[in-house]
Copies of this chain bind each other. A is one copy, B any other.
């Protein structure tokens, strides 16, 4: 530990691939924290590289920042998920992915029926029915994922 553990935002940006503005945004959201120098500049812990790495991976898996925040704050106390934490989290992510794949597969099967009939009828089409209609959960395109 001959080297200081505090890194400036630019370094964190380079190491994570995240834009500086994104990191600041994450800090506002509470996903990372920093201390300040006398001159009011942020200094992060080296371990925040991993922490933000986790954020990015979780994001790739389809989680929103709010969910990620929840996962992170649910951790016992450590700032950054350790191996055990990660295994626990990733196993639950796996379930997420699994059900997502299933949903897509079901949709594909319905689509196959649909190609056969070509009806496009709102009443009869298997692809389109009240029970599993994408019921607006926020903005942005609605994925088959629900």
Residue numbers of A with Cβ under 8 A of B are 15-17, 49-50, 53-54, 56-57, 59-65, 81, 83-84, 86-87, 90-91, 93-94, 97-98, 100-101, 104-105, 107-108, 111-112, 114-115, 118-122, 125, 127-128, 130, 133-134, 139-145
Q: How far is the CA of A77 from the CA of B16 in the complex (A)?
A: 50
The contact sample of 11 A-B pairs, CB cut-off 8 A, is A16-B122, A17-B130, A50-B121, A50-B122, A56-B133, A59-B141, A60-B133, A86-B118, A91-B115, A100-B104, A104-B104
- Given the complex of chains A and B, what is the CA–CA distance between A94 and B113 in angstroms? 11
Q: B101–A104 contact, CB under 8 A?
A: yes
Residues of B within 8 A of A104 (CB): 97, 100-101, 104
CB distance from A99 to the nearest CB of B (A): 10
How many protomers of this protein does the assembly include? 2
Q: In the complex, what's the smallest C-beta–C-beta distance from A131 to chain B, in angstroms? A: 12
Q: When the two chains form their complex, are residues A53 and B118 in contact, meaning their CB atoms are under 8 A apart? A: no
- Contact of B57 with A127 in the complex, beta carbons under 8 Å: yes
Contact A120 B81 (CB under 8 A): yes
Contacts of A62 in B (CB 8 A): 141, 143-144
Q: A66 to nearest B CB, angstroms?
A: 10
